[in-house]
Structure 1
Amino acid sequence: MRLLVLASGRGSHAVNLIEASRDGRLCADVARVVSDRRGAPVIERVRALRVATTVLMPDTAGSRLHPDAERQLLEILREERIELIALCGFMRLLSADLLDRIGAPILNVHPSLLPAFRGLHAQRQAIEAGVRVTGATVHFVDSGMDTGPILLQAPLEVLPGDTEESLSDRLLPVEQRLYVDAIGLIQRGAVRREGRAVLIERPDAPAGAAGPGPTAAGSGTTKGRDRG
């Protein structure tokens, strides 16, 4: 499976997916990493791993990509024959028109148990709300902010004295494991969507049978802080 990563920040998730594709955790090839920000740390980090990179132009401010940047992205997807797109701390919303034209599945990872604590600083939101449990979610991307159908979730206890930084640090490994698991399900053809419902084929199920997949793919420690 040929995978394209969209990233805006430091590149923690992008690097993890590249490493997973090389150490056997993920049967996919990260063909290219694309950023909307010149100078984003992710660019140099993945170049050091000998992965191709592109910065979309113009990298104007705003919540959505410039139309010229959208056209550039579509051309990259065609040239690279991309089969799956993974958002890794990508700080733009994708327009409904762009989503319709892309055609490939698009995933995002978010550091909360959606639909709770959407948007930025999800870890801070969880602490301020006083919840005892938060977690990570991998979901399909739509044109809203963290509103797409949920694929996998994993819980994490919020500890007394947790700060936004400490909670983020403990969530990151959970996000990373969950993302690899989710992409693996897509790669194996084990995921079926029916409207907003996401069904995961059970390995031991008879042909044609499906059921809801696990809501938790592990516990422990994923987009409130921009770590990409």
Structure 2
Amino acid sequence: MRVAVCVKRDLFGMLAARAFVTALGAPAPELAFFCSTRTRPAETGHRLPLLLKALERDIPIDTLLAATADERAGLPPELRPDAWRPLADLAPGGGAADLLAWRPDMVVSMRFSLIFPRAVIAAVPGGILNVHPGPLPGYRGLFAPFWQVLEGEAELAATLHLVDPGIDTGAVLAEHRIARRPGRSLLWHMGELYRGGAVLAARAVRRAMRGQAPIGATQPPGGRYWCIPGEAAADAFLRGPMPVVTTADYLDLLGEALLPALPEGAIAAAS
């Protein structure tokens, strides 16, 4: 079985990749990692998107990963973001052709910033599974952990669902829920959601390897689509519900994503 894993080359893409590979165990399917290289203009406007860009990409990827490349030289390619195959788009003659040329039986999308077109969905026989860091259908779209916190949810959730031609509208396979933790940061909650979602995806792949096709529950009608927060929402978050990051949380996330060996117990809490 051949599984293409589509991620983003950032802190949470690396964390999700490690959680997924670790939870898969052995024997594992043949894996190929692809990463989106798209960035949105809105990510460089308000101070909150700028802060998240620094924490998720500038520091871990452009600084630490680049400066410590020798430490990762012995890692398997699936755990080395520099070895992931870049996808600038999913156009028929561009990224879609590159992805489908590998002939995946299944695609797993985690922290991926490109929308799968109908032609790609139809070409993957085992389906495309997506880890969405929010409960569906109530938190479709972007920045789902941010909006769950700002809306005062007592629990946050990540959803594993099948990809269909809509945006976060496919059948739900499983959900990973966590209690909102006072004193913890937004980045800590994001790490918990992506790690737990990656474990759900690994379990679904293992079932597929045993011949069990993914069958999900149709989402109920309604729902809401969320966008990148504007200045008012970003300011409200920075004033209020929890810190965006703390030193302790950030060091833990960096260690889990970047150290050559996984910290002991990093995946156990999510499984």
Higher mean alpha-carbon deviation, 94-103 vs 170-179, is at 170-179
TM-score normalised to structure 2 length: 0.58
SS at match of 1:35: strand
Query: Residues 82-140 of structure 1, C-alpha deviation per residue, up to 9 Å, x if partnerless?
Result: 22111121100011122123333111112222112122211111011111112121111
Rounded to whole Å, the distance in 2 between the matches of 1:7 and 1:165 is 18
Q: Counterpart in 1 of 2:228?
A: none
Q: Counterpart in 1 of 2:16?
A: 13
RMSD: 3.1
C-alpha spacing 1:110/1:195, structure 2 compared with 1 (3 Å): closer
Greater helix share, structure number = 2
Q: Counterpart in 2 of 1:50?
A: 77
Rounded to whole Å, the distance in 1 between the matches of 2:86 and 2:109 is 15
Q: Counterpart in 2 of 1:112?
A: 134
Query: Which amino acid is the alignment partner of residue 29 of structure 1?
Result: P
Q: Counterpart in 2 of 1:127?
A: 149
Rounded to whole Å, the distance in 2 between the matches of 1:173 and 1:118 is 19
Rounded to whole Å, the distance in 2 between the matches of 1:173 and 1:195 is 22
Aligned with 2:123 (options 101, 105, 129): 101
Aligned 1:79-228 pairs, distance under 5 A: 82-191=104-213, 193=215, 196=218
Q: Counterpart in 2 of 1:65?
A: 90
SS at match of 1:15: helix
Rounded to whole Å, the distance in 2 between the matches of 1:112 and 1:104 is 24
Partners of 1:47 and 1:53 within 8 A in 2: no
Q: Aligned pair count?
A: 185
SS at match of 2:126: coil
Query: Residues 29-85 of structure 1, C-alpha deviation per residue, up to 9 Å, x if partnerless?
Result: 2431112329x859x8798413464223xx2xxxx52332212222222xxxx2211
Partners of 1:7 and 1:33 within 8 A in 2: yes
Query: Which amino acid is the alignment partner of residue 149 of structure 1?
Result: A
C-alpha spacing 1:162/1:129, structure 2 compared with 1 (3 Å): farther
Greater strand share, structure number = 1
Give the C-alpha shift of residue 194 in structure 1.
Answer: 7.8
The yes-or-no answer on 1:3 pairing with 2:3 is yes
Q: Counterpart in 2 of 1:36?
A: 36
Partners of 1:18 and 1:30 within 8 A in 2: no
Rounded to whole Å, the distance in 2 between the matches of 1:46 and 1:16 is 19
C-alpha spacing 1:65/1:47, structure 2 compared with 1 (3 Å): farther
Give the C-alpha shift of residue 20 in structure 1.
Answer: 3.7
Rounded to whole Å, the distance in 2 between the matches of 1:178 and 1:192 is 12
C-alpha spacing 1:174/1:46, structure 2 compared with 1 (3 Å): farther
Partners of 2:140 and 2:168 within 8 A in 1: yes
TM-score normalised to structure 1 length: 0.67
Partners of 2:172 and 2:216 within 8 A in 1: no
Structure 2: 5+ residue stretches without partners: 39-56, 220-268
Partners of 1:4 and 1:86 within 8 A in 2: yes
SS at match of 1:65: coil
